[in-house]
Amino acid sequence: MTQDPLQTPVQYVKGVGPYISSLLAKKGVSAVSDLFYYFPLRYLDRRQIDAIRKLQPGKEKCVVGQVVGIGVRSLGRSRRRICEMVVSDETGVALVVWFHFNEKYLKKKYPTGKKLLIFGECQFFGAQKQFVHPEIEEWDEESAASDVPIVPVYPLTEGLYQKTIRKIVFNVVEGYLKYLEETPLTVRAGGGETLPPQSGAVPGGGKPPISLKESIEQIHRPPASADISTLNNQQSLWHQRVIYDELFFLQLGLGLKKQGYKKEKGFIFKPVQTLLNRALKLIPFELTSAQKRVLNEIGADFSRPEPMNRLLQGDVGSGKTLVAFLASLVACENGVQAVIMAPTEILAQQHYINLKKYADSLDVKIALLTGSTAKGERDEILAELVSGRIRIILGTHALIQEGVEFARLGFVVIDEQHRFGVRQRAALKSRGGSRTAPTPHSLVMTATPIPRTLAMSVYGDLDISIIDEMPSGRKPITTHVFNEKMRPRAYDLIGRELEKGRQAYFVYPLIEESEKTDLKNAVEMAERLKEVFAKYPVGLLHGRMNPAEKEGMMDQFKKNRVRILVSTTVIEVGVDVPNATVMVVEHAERFGLSQLHQLRGRVGRGAEKSYCLLIAGYAQSEETRYRLKVMEETNDGFRIAEEDLKIRGPGDFLGTRQAGLPEFRLAHLVRDGHLLNAARKRAFEILEEDPALQKEEHRILRKILAQRWEGKLELADVS
């Protein structure tokens, strides 16, 4: 059997031994092909070496100078130490400054007289020119004569040096790139314009398309004529080619997955609406037009032969749960059971309380199953699920545990779906009973608005509905950012609201590693608030309490017996107390934007004006200030999500990698939205024409797809 040369362990590459390969492993590089995709962070432009005298502030520049001396000094009266190195060329002197350094190491590495190439942003302090933590390389005759004028700068790890990694990548590109399977995609200048894969010619003239191989090579070794700024922005044609490639195969995989769903047998529901109409009469308000539209979209899916796979997005409080319930009624009337799974007990409980009154009036048997359901009751519920007596069941993870079986499960709803993994979703769907039973319709809901580009990637296999309208009568929430010094002002505002009979939340961040300290903070806060607001009962809610205790406390708050509720983020999702009008977030700087938005959504649920007070510590970075400002400026969940995604990137944005997607090496969903659109369009066109990718010219796509998705395409029919 012949081994795929691209899978050769890096250890066997020229210039790499066990030590270097262990360093590379830290960077996720194990095989030769990983090195193709180990892309430079940026580039050093050696074509233009500046005279020190001519340096301009704020520009990234290269200078070549000789070390005059190196030393450490203290900054002012503080204990902070910095290391400074003086370098000079024929025209002047400049300083190189390190804030984090190993003195001995630097002195040894940069002895007086050594010639160095220094690259970085030049700052001016009066007449003094300095580089802070620049790129530095030894400069010798060889580098002066180098035929690599644009030099890649790679991500490093302790012990790995630019020179080493450059050589390694160079060797790999030389020796192995020829084995890389060429992807038959073509991208033209301007980005995103695609040609049919089999076509070599370029309609309408223009530059011929570039190959993946060429692109990878040029990204690692740009030609002397390349434009440095497009390279640094990762927007060169070569970069675009690789990005497009990544996005195309992502979309092709998602498209196949989507087709997989279509092949499953689903329940075809009749558009019977007796229960639904009766429910609409019971509900004391009118559905928003967005809610009506989404119900129609779900209704249309219900009547198709394949199972529904729909994502419902809507800001907190937009009325998603109600829509899920109304859709469940249509399912019930079609003789199947419906299940609604929520991420926490409190939420499940709250859904249950809200919906039970309607279900009871409609004579639809509804039940709640959570981890704290008593054994006897649980047994009864399980029996009634198998017998089919229970028509709608709400609950938590307890619903996917051993022993839960349905008579005829036809509709599955997952609330706050990002809290669950792909597997849990699948587990719930598979409760339907026998293997021959049709696949239930599924609706996943999220209150985290997901920017379109991300939704298209992560949920590209789902259809998407959006509730983009709040029930009328809701007042926008006013948000203020306070620092520690301004705390009394925040307390004044809270005091006024309490005076009016309203309630307030205080939320503390809970960071896993320091759960204990944070809990301590929350407990101390509660004590302090008892003093500050002596007239009002203060309650405490945290993750260490058992479910009954939590419920008890929530209940006290709902009943207005507790006026101030101090909690760790356990209340983050879905809790509904209309009389609460103030949300105070402590250490607001530690929360992500989407999380803050979720928390804010806990208030503004009644007719009264509500406030969100963000209290941030002193040490605020530029970025923190910006983030908190966004919160002050807007209540628009989608705008906030876009900002959040820009700051955090998709992995963090979604909280985990549980979305189960291949990771991107180069693509950036915000920046590369145009390429994403083009890639999706092309991928779906190909699948339209050749759904199983069986045509000769598509075989290769199948093969590459299988490699890239490595077993993540369970649902799709790819082998």
CB 65 within 8 A of CB 89: yes
CA 687 to chain centre: 27
The count of residues interacting with ligand ADP (CB under 6 A) is 16
- Assess 676 for contact with ligand ADP (CB under 6 A): no
Residues 6+ apart with CB under 8 A from 573: 342, 343, 344, 347, 416, 419, 447, 598
Name the amino acid, one letter, at 516.
K
Q: Are strands 60-74 and 81-88 parallel, antiparallel or unpaired?
A: antiparallel
- Assess 194 for contact with Mg ion (CB under 5 A): no
Q: Which stretch binds ligand ADP (CB under 6 A): 83-91, 287-295, 499-507, 631-639?
A: 287-295
Instruction: Quote the strand ranges of 474-532, DSSP E.
Output: 478-483, 503-508
Residues 553-582 that bind Mg ion (CB under 5 A): 574
Cβ atoms within 10 A of the Cβ of 207, count? 10
Minimum Å gap between C-beta 351 and ligand ADP is: 8
Minimum Å gap between C-beta 319 and Mg ion is: 9
User: What tokens appear for 431 in the block?
Assistant: 């409760």
Residues 6+ apart with CB under 8 A from 408: 335, 336, 337, 388, 432, 433, 437
Residues 563-582 that bind ligand ADP (CB under 6 A): 574, 576
| CB nearer to ligand ADP: pick between 347 and 718 | 347
**Hey, which residues does 74 pair with through a beta bridge?**
81
| The only residue of 177, 237, 316, 338 in contact with ligand ADP, by rule CB under 6 A | 316
| CB nearer to Mg ion: pick between 65 and 343 | 343
CA 410 to chain centre: 31
Q: How far apart are CA 350 and CA 598, in angstroms?
A: 17
Minimum Å gap between C-beta 320 and ligand ADP is: 3
- Assess 288 for contact with ligand ADP (CB under 6 A): yes
| CB nearer to ligand ADP: pick between 96 and 393 | 393
Minimum Å gap between C-beta 638 and Mg ion is: 17
| CB nearer to ligand ADP: pick between 251 and 291 | 291
Task: Quote the DSSP letter at residue 149.
Answer: -
Task: Return the one option of Mg ion, ligand ADP, none that residue 319 interacts with (CB less than 5 to 8 A, by type).
Answer: ligand ADP
**Hey, which residues does 187 pair with through a beta bridge?**
194
- Assess 475 for contact with ligand ADP (CB under 6 A): no
- Assess 287 for contact with ligand ADP (CB under 6 A): yes
CA angle (355 as vertex; 350, 358 as ends), nearest 5? 155
| CB nearer to Mg ion: pick between 34 and 416 | 416
Nearest alpha-carbon partner for 401 in 375, 380, 421, 371: 371
| CB nearer to Mg ion: pick between 251 and 313 | 313
x/- track of binding to ligand ADP for residues 623-652 (CB under 6 A)? ------------------------------
Q: At how many degrees (to 10) do helices 345-362 and 274-282 cross?
A: 110
Minimum Å gap between C-beta 317 and ligand ADP is: 5
| The only residue of 130, 183, 232, 291 in contact with ligand ADP, by rule CB under 6 A | 291
| CB nearer to ligand ADP: pick between 351 and 397 | 351
| The only residue of 107, 129, 310, 320 in contact with ligand ADP, by rule CB under 6 A | 320
3-state secondary structure at position 495? helix
- Assess 322 for contact with ligand ADP (CB under 6 A): yes
- Assess 314 for contact with ligand ADP (CB under 6 A): yes
Q: Which residues of 504-528 are buried (b: 16+ CB within 10 A; e: fewer)?
A: bbbbbbbeeeeeeebbebbeebbee
| The only residue of 291, 321, 328, 567 in contact with Mg ion, by rule CB under 5 A | 321
Q: Which residues bind ligand ADP (CB under 6 A)?
A: 285, 287-288, 291, 314, 316-322, 447, 471, 574, 576
Q: Which residues bind Mg ion (CB under 5 A)?
A: 321, 574
